[in-house]
Structure 1
Amino acid sequence: MTPGRAVGWSPRRPIVLVGPMGSGKSTVGAALGRALGLERLDADELFEADHGPIPEYFTAHGEPAFRRAEEQVIDEALRRPGPRVLSLGGGAVLSALTRSRLAACHVVFLTVDEEVALRRLGGGEGRPVLAGDPGRTWRRILAEREGLYREVSDWTVDTTGRTAHQLAETITRLVREAETASPTPGAVHP
């Protein structure tokens, strides 16, 4: 696939999607990669290809080991040549090293309504960090990480009620404008 083939333009830097579980990072990342004709990578998929299923790794090795391995997977993905779309796991921003590496990327913070996120997550099945009370745990995790998502992001885009195609169009427009007109980063876009 030729980068930028679909829109006649290709970003100069990787586009990275961050946000809480259920915000649509994987789905939007796939649509954005298709729209831009770019390689699309998903940090969770890359992790599982190297280390096996995340819930099993998390249980067997604990969160600190998981985060270290996740950090390495993300570093390798960001070191690949050329522009690409990379979707990160919800907790990837907990790593100071990962946050520093994101400075060289276009980063989009995807937000979502809690009810929609929990519906997308199927009540938290297969998500070890949501064990117990998924809603309360999701809110707590978002509260702990939201400042980090905002810290690393150039834009905030709400995914609630929007299709992956619509979101890909919005993100493409934002990145393209940034590379041609340098608008103020950090702006919130519905």
Structure 2
Amino acid sequence: MAGALEARLAASARAGEDAGTRRGLVLVGPMGAGKTTVGRALAEATGLAFVDSDDLLVQVHGPIPAFFAEHGERAFRAEEARVIEHVLSRAVPCVLASGGGAVLSPGTRSLLSRPEVAVVYLRVTEAEALRRLDSGAGRPVLAGDPAGTWSRILAERDPLYHEVADLVVDTTSDPARELAWRIVEGICPR
């Protein structure tokens, strides 16, 4: 797995080498909070490389729902934790969009508490998240009762998002670029 991750990260790492920050920026939050969209805008604003942990998992293991079905949640969370540890152990900082459930792993929460990592919790209203997620289409975990399931998952994870967060930003209504600059100002004040 490390070889595949190295290949994926090596191409983008050079973008962050001269970014002027020694901290990695990690975005956490529920499905539909905008971790990927805001993460890309944040990478552009800071000059850091952008990495999406879900994308890396897919590149290494194939579709996440299939991996989940074949190996179970425990194996998935272990792989997710290894991906995040690998990304955060690199000498070059980056913007990392984590999976919504990454905070469920005590080991991942420990990684996110390191001083060289800045964690931003992206919050969003249920209505906006479900709009962004097309009411759960393509998200097997939301099948049947998208709103109820999304709310239950958030209630379980919200304390963990707060536990690891250095900054909390609501993404419900502002454009990604504005949110990116708000994060830069909140994490890297002049």
TM bracket, shorter-chain basis:
0.7 to 0.9
Residue equivalent to 2:144: 132
Match of 2:171 among 156, 159, 169: 159
Gaps in structure 2 of 5+ consecutive residues: 1-13
Q: Which has the higher helix share?
A: 2
Q: Which moved more, 1:130-139 or 1:53-62?
A: 53-62
Match of 1:97 among 102, 107, 129: 107
Work out the CA distance in 2 between the residues paired with 1:108 and 1:4.
Answer: 21
Q: Which moved more, 1:92-101 or 1:115-124?
A: 115-124
Gaps in structure 1 of 5+ consecutive residues: 181-190
How many equivalent residue pairs? 175
Equivalent residue letter for 1:114: E
Residue equivalent to 2:72: 62
Residue equivalent to 2:7: none
- Pairwise CA RMSD: 1.4
Residue equivalent to 1:171: 183
Structure 1 stretches of 4+ with a deviation exceeding 4 A read: none
3-state SS of paired residue (1:132)? coil
Q: Which moved more, 1:99-108 or 1:55-64?
A: 55-64
3-state SS of paired residue (1:62)? helix
Structure 1 residues 82 and 59, CA gap change in structure 2 (3 angstroms): same
Structure 2 counterparts to residues 32-71 of structure 1, below 5 A: 32-71=42-81
Residue equivalent to 1:110: 122
Q: Which moved more, 1:166-175 or 1:123-132?
A: 123-132
Equivalent residue letter for 1:43: S
Give the TM-score of the pair, scaled to structure 2.
0.88
Residue equivalent to 1:144: 156
Work out the CA distance in 2 between the residues paired with 1:78 and 1:68.
Answer: 15
Q: Percent identity?
A: 54
Match of 1:84 among 79, 90, 94: 94
Deviation readout 1:45-74 (Å, 9 max, x if unpaired)? 011011111111111211111111111111
Residues 167, 187 of structure 2: 8 Å contact kept: no
